[in-house]
Amino acid sequence: MFRTIAGLLASLCFGVLHAEAVLEPAKQIAEEVASGIHPGFESFIMQVDGQVVGRAVAPTLAKRPPDLRSATKSITALLIGIAIDQGAIPSVQTKVMDLLPARRRVFEQDARKAAMTLEDLLTMRSGLDCNDWDPKSPGHEDKMYRQRDWVAFWSEQRMRADPGKEFSYCTGNVVALGEILEAAVNLAPDAFALKYLFVPIEVQRAEWQYWDRKHGVDTGGHLRLPPDDLLKIGELILGRGAYQQKRIVSEAWIEAMTTERTSIPGMNQRYGYLWWLDHTKDPNLPQTKLWWAQGNGGSVLMIMPGVDAVMLTTGTRFNQPDMLEPMLWLRDRLLPALRVK
């Protein structure tokens, strides 16, 4: 579902940052979303220079927040960073089998599995035969969801490649990170997130999905957050790990998380630690890095550090190619308003 984003992002261009300059198009898009002109999109928020310049949130989301789908993965990366900051996890080079003592035996039976590191999971290079972009893949997420023990299913997949060699988008990698986190901090991922991330940044509501009769937390997807709370995650990333002058996660982790780690076959984008990465390419206009979380259906949290801006949408256009429509708003309507005159 991510492949067609490459052409859209390649054409993005930015100008001098002025919140006032983008106020009119952002407000207009917000009005369109609110009126239903873009069916399937439930929210749109854009913030520039710390000022919200456009906001539309469907009233129905007050009853239940939107399902962020795989944008959840990028939030899980933050939780892993906090645990590393605390010293609960030694480093990204720590072997997975050392972080999952209850699963150690399955890793010891395969030398390549035994070599797998935490970083291999964060970069989608576990080497397991698991590819969510291929319905025929043995480790596909839909097959995992039908199991009672998701991590057992994931860990028992055969190795297709050496760990750290090939990118293969696998939700099971990130579900395993949830179990790794719990083993390291002796606290369930939802409780850890509440204590060390959500409460400190004043998130009002967070709903996780569970597996194995609520013994496991789905850290790979389906977290529900109100759009205004998702914006706080964007502000945290833009603040290099600080939110309203409160340090939540180290600046070193934000830097590590948003540093290019691997290329993605067939795409121009790169991947960090569960964050998608790119940059603007038009040499005639100011440049910015692009860091984003994305989930099926149209959930996008786009961080643009070079222009001090965040844009987010949530939607229900699941498995539809036009779920990328907000990228067109960004390219054709919002960013031109910031162009140097």
The tens digit of pLDDT for each residue in 68-99 reads: 999 999 999 999 999 999 999 999 999 999 99
The domain segmentation of the chain, as residue ranges, is 5-68+228-338, 74-185
Sorted by sequence, the CB contacts under 8 Å of residue 99 that are 6+ apart come out as 89, 118, 180, 183, 184
Query: How buried is 313 (Cβ within 10 angstroms: 0-12 exposed, 13-18 middle, 19+ buried)?
Result: buried
Backbone angles phi, psi at 309, to 5 degrees: -135, 150
Q: Which helix (H) or strand (E) holds 291?
A: strand 289-295
β partners of residue 46: 54, 311
pLDDT given at position 285? 47
pLDDT given at position 267? 87
Looking at residue 162, its amino acid is D
Q: Which of 85, 107, 101, 87 is nearest to 255 (CA)?
A: 85
Pair 316, 305: CB distance under 8 Å: no
CA distances from 91 to 151, 181, 184 (A): 21, 12, 12
DSSP state of 157: S
Q: Which helix (H) or strand (E) holds 300?
A: strand 299-304
pLDDT given at position 8? 57
pLDDT below 50 — which residues of the chain?
Answer: 1-4, 6, 13-17, 285-286, 340-341
Looking at residue 318, its amino acid is F
Q: Domain 74-185 is in which class?
A: mainly alpha
- Note if the pTM is more than 0.85: yes
pLDDT given at position 335? 78
Per-residue pLDDT tens for 98-149?
A: 999 999 999 999 999 999 999 999 999 999 999 999 999 999 999 999 999 9
> What CATH fold (topology level) applies to the domain 5-68+228-338?
Beta-lactamase (3.40.710)
Sorted by sequence, the CB contacts under 8 Å of residue 295 that are 6+ apart come out as 67, 68, 69, 70, 71, 72, 221
pLDDT given at position 332? 83
Please list the alpha-helical segments (H only) found in the chain: 5-10, 19-35, 71-85, 96-99, 104-108, 111-114, 118-122, 141-145, 150-155, 171-185, 189-193, 227-238, 251-257, 325-329
Strand 41-48 and strand 51-57: pairing? antiparallel
Residues 192 and 134: their CA atoms lie apart, in Å, by 33
Residues 143 and 120: their CA atoms lie apart, in Å, by 22
CA distances from 66 to 120, 298, 310 (A): 29, 11, 18
